[in-house]
C-alpha cells in the first residue's frame, strides 16, 4: 500500500516542481532585445551612445559621425578602442603628430583595433559614420590641446569628448582666416563657419557651402577667390 501511494505521489511532486520552476523562469527571463537602426548622418549629434555609458567603467557602444575632410588630431585613451567603418571612407594613423602619409584607408566594413595609451589620429575622406566599442571609461585626451574658433568665441579642448573651456585668445598663427571669409577648396566653396587649431601642427576650417552643407579643409588647401 505504501509503495502504491509513493508511486502516485511522484507525478504530483514533479508537477509541483515543474510549476515552481516555470514561475521562477518567468521572473528571470531576459529583457527583450532592442534594435537601434543606423540613423542618417548628423553633424550635430556627433557622438551617439547605443549601449552602456562611455564615461563609466564597463562595456560601451557608440557611433561617431564626422564630416568630410575632418581630422581628429592625435589623441590617446586608457583602454583599447575597436572601430568599424559603417558609412563612408575613413583613415587612421599612429603617432603623436598628424601625418598624412601614415594614414591607412578604411572603407565601409573595415575594422581596426587601436591599443590603449597609443597615440593615434584619423581623417574622414567623406562623410563618415563609425561604430566604436570597448571597455570604459572612454576618456580620450589630445596629445596637444586644441583651440576652437566658433561664433561664440574661442575655446580650448583637452580631449574630443571633453567640455570646451572659453579662453580670451589663441596662438597668433592659429586662425588666420576669420569667420565669414569666402573661401574655395577642393570640395567646393563657401564661408568659414568654424575652425580648429593644434598649435605647431595644423589649422582646419569648417566651410559652409551655399546649400547649407559643410566640409573641413586645412589652411593650405584653401584659396580666397
pLDDT tens string 206-223: 999 999 999 999 999 999
- 130 within 8 A of 84, measured Cβ to Cβ: yes
Specify whether 182 is located in the same domain as 105: no
CATH number, position 54: 2.60.120.10
Chain centre distance of CA 26: 38
Specify whether 131 is located in the same domain as 156: no
Specify whether 91 is located in the same domain as 169: no
Q: Which of 139, 167, 185 is the last residue of a domain?
A: 139
Report whether pLDDT(17) > 60: no
CATH number, position 185: 2.30.30
Specify whether 151 is located in the same domain as 202: yes
Please indicate, yes or no, if residue 3 is contained in any of the structural domains.
Answer: no
* Number of domains forming the structure of the chain: 2
- 135 within 8 A of 121, measured Cβ to Cβ: no
Please indicate, yes or no, if residue 205 is contained in any of the structural domains.
Answer: yes
Phi, psi (rounded to 5 degrees) for 3:
-60, -40
Please indicate, yes or no, if residue 37 is contained in any of the structural domains.
Answer: no
Specify whether 104 is located in the same domain as 59: yes
Q: Which of 139, 173, 202 is the last residue of a domain?
A: 139
Check residue 223 and give its pLDDT: 93
Specify whether 134 is located in the same domain as 197: no
Specify whether 113 is located in the same domain as 194: no
pLDDT in tens, 148-202: 999 999 999 999 989 999 999 999 999 999 999 999 998 999 999 999 999 999 9
Report whether pLDDT(18) > 80: no
What's the whole-model pTM score?
0.83
Specify whether 150 is located in the same domain as 127: no
Bridge partners (DSSP) of residue 16 are none
CA distance 93 to 101: 9
Specify whether 156 is located in the same domain as 116: no
State whether residue 149 is helix, strand or coil. strand
Chain centre distance of CA 92: 13
Please indicate, yes or no, if residue 103 is contained in any of the structural domains.
Answer: yes
Dihedral angle over CA of 123, 128, 134, 137, nearest 10: 70
- Domain containing 55: what range? 47-139
Amino acid at each position: 500500500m505504501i509503495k502504491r501511494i509513493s508511486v502516485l505521489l511522484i507525478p504530483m511532486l514533479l508537477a509541483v516542481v515543474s510549476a515552481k520552476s516555470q514561475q521562477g523562469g518567468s521572473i528571470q527571463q531576459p529583457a527583450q532585445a532592442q534594435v537601434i537602426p543606423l540613423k542618417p548622418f548628423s553633424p550635430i549629434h556627433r557622438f551617439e551612445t547605443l549601449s552602456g555609458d562611455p564615461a563609466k567603467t564597463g562595456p560601451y557602444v557608440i557611433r561617431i559621425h564626422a564630416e568630410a575632410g575632418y581630422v581628429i588630431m592625435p589623441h590617446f585613451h586608457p583602454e583599447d578602442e575597436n572601430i568599424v567603418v559603417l558609412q563612408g571612407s575613413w583613415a587612421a594613423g599612429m603617432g603623436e603628430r598628424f601625418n598624412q602619409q601614415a594614414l591607412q584607408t578604411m572603407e565601409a566594413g573595415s575594422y581596426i583595433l587601436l591599443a590603449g595609451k597609443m597615440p593615434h589620429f584619423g581623417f574622414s575622406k567623406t562623410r563618415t559614420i563609425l561604430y566604436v566599442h570597448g571597455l570604459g571609461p572612454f576618456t580620450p585626451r589630445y596629445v596637444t590641446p586644441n583651440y576652437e574658433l566658433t561664433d561664440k568665441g574661442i575655446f580650448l579642448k583637452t580631449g574630443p569628448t571633453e567640455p570646451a573651456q572659453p579662453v580670451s585668445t589663441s596662438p597668433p598663427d592659429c586662425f588666420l582666416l576669420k569667420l565669414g571669409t569666402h573661401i574655395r577648396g577642393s570640395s567646393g566653396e563657401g564661408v568659414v563657419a568654424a575652425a580648429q587649431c593644434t598649435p605647431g601642427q595644423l589649422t582646419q576650417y569648417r566651410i559652409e557651402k551655399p546649400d547649407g552643407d559643410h566640409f573641413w579643409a586645412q589652411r593650405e588647401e584653401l584659396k580666397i577667390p
